[in-house]
Amino acid sequence: MPIYQTSTFRFKDTEHGAACFAGETDDFIYTRINNPTVRELEQTLAMLEKGEECICTSSGMGAVNVVFFGLLSRGKHVICHETVYGPSRSVLEAHYTRFGVDVSFVDTSNVLDVEAAIKDNTALVYLESPANPTVTVSDIPAICKVAKDKGVLVCVDNTFLGPCLQTPLDFGADIVINSLTKGINGHADVVAGCLVTKTKELACHLRPIMITLGACLDPNSAFLTRRGLKTMALRIERAQDSAARLAAYLEQHPKVEWIRYPGLESHPQHEVCKRIMKGPGTMMSFGLKGGMEAGRRLLDSVKLCTLAVSLGGVETLIQHPASMTHAKLSPEARLKGGVTPDLIRFSVGIEDVEEIMSDLAQALDKV
């Protein structure tokens, strides 16, 4: 698919132009509205996520805000997992509440908590599974059933796993979100996002919002993301195999206090993981016995692993959420959601697993 690096498209005549704007044809008008390169990526992602339609956005947060802006308004209520990507929670707390949206943050890994939080005006249940950065897993099918019984829509951020390892729409979710920046593109050279809907009607409601907000994906980024898709399955398979070995290594290490990885039997929701996930993924979190100071020493001592935010790329990344990605949350919100001061988030890449393990070993020796 070529890069249609153009902002506007020529009409055949005035009648054609009028038909395009009247919605009588699906031809191209303006790249903020639609673009051939972007559309091809959207069709591919909709197929992979087993949805009807996909809307690509300029970032993962672009997708999140299209969903929130499209489904929430004054007097509406949203239930959100208490631990999600920092900006996803911050935008609800700091901005949507300003416009009269009622927000409840609950532990969505407990289905009963979700059910108890539903009100007459609840419009949306929004969750990440696995959650960022705690790697908490929610029972998506059970949550969808509870929500559907009450007529509430469910949106799942699938970024930690992607369509290779989990397809939430199969479990009853209405919308699935991915930060294309992460595992789908996988090369740390694109910022992009998408949302895939279960129905065309929902996509028809949300697409004009993306257009109006100006959250469109540019054609070059769409082309690069499509390139990343070609190796997605191979990259994830390699990184996931390495992650399983590294998680087992860390679980047995005397300086590691705790670890949370879906592939370990010690994961609190391990049985749910086996039931709804096609694989444990490449993400884990852990804490050291020396607490936050020990974690800082580890992070400052790694050489092959890169101290950086983001995840899901070819490089192994490691970071400290409490002072980085989730720093804007209040200390109380972080602790309630499990983002403890000692938590280290670890995204395994495709480097040689023995070299990653050696790097962790030498850094742990300095703790």
Using alpha carbons, select from 160, 178, 150, 149 the residue that is nearest to residue 83. 160
Task: From the candidates 4, 76, 85, 260, give the one annotated as an active-site residue.
Answer: 85
Task: From the candidates 4, 76, 139, 182, give the one annotated as an active-site residue.
Answer: 182
CA-CA distance, 166 to 281, in Å (whole number)?
10
Alpha helices of 196-269 — where are they, by DSSP H? 200-213, 219-229, 232-252
Residue 74 is among the residues annotated as catalytic for this protein: no
CA-CA distance, 133 to 311, in Å (whole number)?
11
| Token pair in block for residue 239 | 């990184």
DSSP secondary structure of 261-314: -TTSTTSTTHHHHHHH-SS--SEEEEEETTHHHHHHHHHHH-SSSEE-S--SSS
Beta bridge partners of 307: 318
Residue 4 is among the residues annotated as catalytic for this protein: no
Beta bridge partners of 306: 317
Task: From the candidates 32, 50, 145, 227, give the one annotated as an active-site residue.
Answer: 32
Residue 85 is among the residues annotated as catalytic for this protein: yes
CA-CA distance, 178 to 273, in Å (whole number)?
19
Active site residues: 32, 85, 157, 182
